[in-house]
A and B are shown apart, each in its own frame.
Chain A
């Protein structure tokens, strides 16, 4: 079964997303920041990572950078509730520029999630 790792610090949203992805027929693990994700990837390599961008400890962009640095090529879908305002915060645009397979602004529908996963796993 295809393994997907979900990385998000929002408990409520993460709980929902885990269930939604599981119902699509994938094996799902979940952690709440980039640091935990790196530890998780060390011992259990997923085929796809769905990560939030703004998180404490280590954010999604740092996670992607660290993955690249380690030469890991696991495809990534970036999700975020944040939009560019005027600050220098990272956002979906930054993730896109870093070469993630797909981006999804929150809130998204099940259908949008489904096609992003299919696209990312191709």
Chain B
């Protein structure tokens, strides 16, 4: 839309651009030529700022060159190229940069909006679960005491009928709570763009209080740029379970769990790799082979249920990732998890965010 302070539309700007190129080529003074090229580049930036697509700006430049060649058929093309190509290449790069910055700012705004939303949904889910828990306890007492009261009342008495109504009402309340929880869960379970580094840092806060103090948790967070499409709780479970499993392998001795996150390129495309490594007891080949079996555990009674890893395997598969494990008896175990990387969270994530930035 034309703004009052900048009345020229793209066509007029295109005309001006052609003039500038013309001046750049034919100016006797190299300073004049340089100034003309600089103005041409500024013009390009103006167009980008007006949200004119980059291809259209490129087309404009192209047309200007054609016009130049048409007006001066005898113009030596090599001379023209030498005079304007290099500076204009720079200008073109400046346009691209401006364009890319604009895109990045836009993507960032969308991601932030989505993060904010998933935090809100998580809060709703937690709140709903807390209310449901307390409510079910209260209903349990109401229902139970009403059944007990029934023992003291003669069969077929009015009192027994009234009790039956109390029970009926309690069940109705129970179903209502179940529905509320299902709703909250469905909202919170919507996969969204999740940044794995931040999420891992959050999860470590939980882990630090639950793991023995003799176990060192090492994580050097890289740039917060590890985006994947998932439910935050799924990723949290993966990180939690792997670390708890590592802690179990370390046991009561002092030991350390090293966690790393990095983007990698594989045959399957760009992935985010999560590495969890411990210096615990390690596993023999027989154990290693069955490590993801749901009911397989090496537990000396009580030493973890062994369920964690099958859960991790299930979640990783669900997220279309892969999981690998390497272990050496006596020196430790390493888990490698690759999850598909989201390079443009705004286009790959489902359209749940409302913040479509301008």
Q: Do A and B come from one complex?
A: yes
Residues of A within 8 A of B (CB): 10, 12-13, 15-17, 19-20, 23, 54, 65-71, 80-89, 97-98, 105-110
Knowing A70-B301, A83-B178, A86-B185 are in contact, say whether A20-B133 is a contact too (CB < 8 A): no
Interface of B is mostly: helix
B141 CB contacts on chain A under 8 angstroms: 10, 12-13, 15-16
Q: How far apart are B91's CB and chain A's nearest CB, in angstroms?
A: 51
The reply to whether B302 and A68 form a contact with Cβ atoms under 8 Å apart is yes
Given contacts A20-B144, A54-B133, 14 further A-B contacts (CB under 8 A): A10-B141, A16-B145, A17-B144, A23-B151, A68-B302, A80-B133, A81-B140, A83-B129, A85-B128, A85-B184, A86-B122, A86-B126, A107-B139, A108-B140
Chain B interface residue count, CB cutoff 8 Å, equals 46
Contact of A82 among B132, B188, B301, B303 (CB under 8 A): B132
Knowing A66-B302, A106-B137, A107-B174 are in contact, say whether A83-B132 is a contact too (CB < 8 A): yes
The reply to whether B185 and A13 form a contact with Cβ atoms under 8 Å apart is no
A23 to B135, CA, bound (A): 25
Q: Looking across the interface, which residue of chain B has its beta carbon closest to that of A9?
A: B137
A53 to B122, CA, bound (A): 22
The reply to whether A69 and B303 form a contact with Cβ atoms under 8 Å apart is yes
Contact of A65 among B128, B167, B188, B305 (CB under 8 A): B305
Contact of A105 among B122, B136, B232 (CB under 8 A): B136
The reply to whether B126 and A87 form a contact with Cβ atoms under 8 Å apart is yes
B135 CB contacts on chain A under 8 angstroms: 81
Q: Looking across the interface, which residue of chain A has its beta carbon closest to that of B128?
A: A85
The reply to whether A20 and B132 form a contact with Cβ atoms under 8 Å apart is no
A15 to B232, CA, bound (A): 39
| 7 CB < 8 A contacts A-B | A23-B148, A65-B305, A67-B302, A85-B129, A88-B240, A107-B174, A108-B140
The reply to whether B302 and A70 form a contact with Cβ atoms under 8 Å apart is yes
The reply to whether B305 and A109 form a contact with Cβ atoms under 8 Å apart is no
A111 to B300, CA, bound (A): 37
The reply to whether B125 and A86 form a contact with Cβ atoms under 8 Å apart is yes
A106 to B151, CA, bound (A): 21
A81 to B299, CA, bound (A): 29
User: Digit string of B94-137 for contact with A (CB within 8 Å is 1, else 0)?
Assistant: 00000000000000000000000000001001101100111111
The reply to whether B305 and A16 form a contact with Cβ atoms under 8 Å apart is no
- In the complex, whether B357 has a CB less than 8 A from a CB of chain A is no
Contact of A107 among B148, B170, B299 (CB under 8 A): B170
The reply to whether B133 and A107 form a contact with Cβ atoms under 8 Å apart is no
Q: How far apart are B76's CB and chain A's nearest CB, in angstroms?
A: 70
A6 to B174, CA, bound (A): 23
A97 to B307, CA, bound (A): 8
Knowing A10-B141, A13-B141 are in contact, say whether A98-B305 is a contact too (CB < 8 A): yes
Q: Looking across the interface, which residue of chain A has its beta carbon closest to that of B118?
A: A86
Q: How far apart are B43's CB and chain A's nearest CB, in angstroms?
A: 52
Knowing A13-B141, A54-B133 are in contact, say whether A20-B126 is a contact too (CB < 8 A): no
- In the complex, whether B288 has a CB less than 8 A from a CB of chain A is no
Q: Looking across the interface, which residue of chain A has its beta carbon closest to that of B185?
A: A85
* The 7 residue pairs across chains A and B that have the minimum distance between CB atoms: A69-B302, A85-B129, A81-B136, A107-B140, A16-B144, A106-B140, A86-B125
Knowing A10-B137, A20-B147, A107-B143 are in contact, say whether A89-B129 is a contact too (CB < 8 A): yes
A81 to B307, CA, bound (A): 23
- In the complex, whether B262 has a CB less than 8 A from a CB of chain A is no
A64 to B79, CA, bound (A): 85
A23 CB contacts on chain B under 8 angstroms: 148, 151
